[in-house]
Structure 1
Amino acid sequence: MTDDIAHIDAEFRRRFTDATGRVATIPRKDIYRQALLRYATDRFEVSRTYTEQEVTFILLGIVDDHAWLRRMLVDLGYLERSDDGRAYRRVSA
């Protein structure tokens, strides 16, 4: 991770997360939305397959709108979803 990304991620955590690690407000700026996606992705192991329920549980620990976050993680290539939508895997960095 470059110093710039590390700085942005630290700024994201400072500005948008509370003491428990939850995000109260989805950032409007893309740079902080990307930081949110990296923050969420860090909750998943690379070599593990997750069920939809497990993904929902993990994402609910971050934001209330877990469906939006899951969709963004899949659409932007942070997570892969099986064709039937039952299995998810973190994409290798």
Structure 2
Amino acid sequence: MSWQKVLSTLASPGLREAYARAVLGQELDADPRARRKLTEAGLLLPEGRVDGGVFSELLAASARPRPEGVDRFFRNGMLDGLPAGHVDRQSVLEHLADRLFPADRELDEPTVNLLIATVTRDIPTLRRALVDYGYLERNADGTGYRRAARSED
């Protein structure tokens, strides 16, 4: 069963009317060909009763899988905003630090900003959060950044 088959079947005024009668519990006086088309589309069960779950099944089959983990906080590759929860925020920041910044290499602020711009428009907020949460280290004189070394747990 596919939503295209259901819609193409219901696009026919005669079939739509026959289906409406079946839904309303009226006599299904459709010719055998119309009855067969409604059944093949999944709108009617073989005995001629309405399949009450057809639309729920179609919606469930076409639903996109829900993102999990840090992917929940990204839309089209861009960060939707920093999560409010501490654990989620740390997970997202760790993911971004690992993804954006090379290990053992110092970067100047314009380069850091360019890298951060690939995932958000709010560059200062994300840069500050990465530093505040210890994922980026900033030189005391502000001339460079480096991904923080973390101990493996």
TM-score category of the 2 structures, normalised to the smaller one: 0.7 to 0.9
Q: What's the counterpart of residue 132 of structure 2?
A: 75
CA RMSD of aligned residues (A): 1.4
Query: 1:80 aligns to what SS in structure 2?
Result: strand
Deviation string 1:6-43 (CA, Å, 9 cap, x unpaired) is: xxxx5121x11123x21123212222111111121011
Unmatched 5+ stretches in structure 2: 1-67
More contact order relative to length (CA 8 Å, sep ≥ 6): 1
How many residue pairs get aligned? The number is 82
Query: 1:50 aligns to what SS in structure 2?
Result: coil
Unmatched 5+ stretches in structure 1: 1-9
1:61 deviation in Å? Answer: 1.0
Structure whose residues are more often strand by fraction: 1
Identity %: 35
Q: Over alpha carbons, which structure has the higher Rg?
A: 2
1:48 deviation in Å? Answer: 0.6
Q: TM-score, normalised by structure 1?
A: 0.78
Q: Does 1:28 align with 2:97?
A: no
Structure 1 stretches of 4+ with a deviation exceeding 6 A read none
Tell me, yes or no, if the aligned pair for 2:70 and 2:95 is still in contact at 8 Å.
Answer: no
Q: TM-score, normalised by structure 2?
A: 0.50
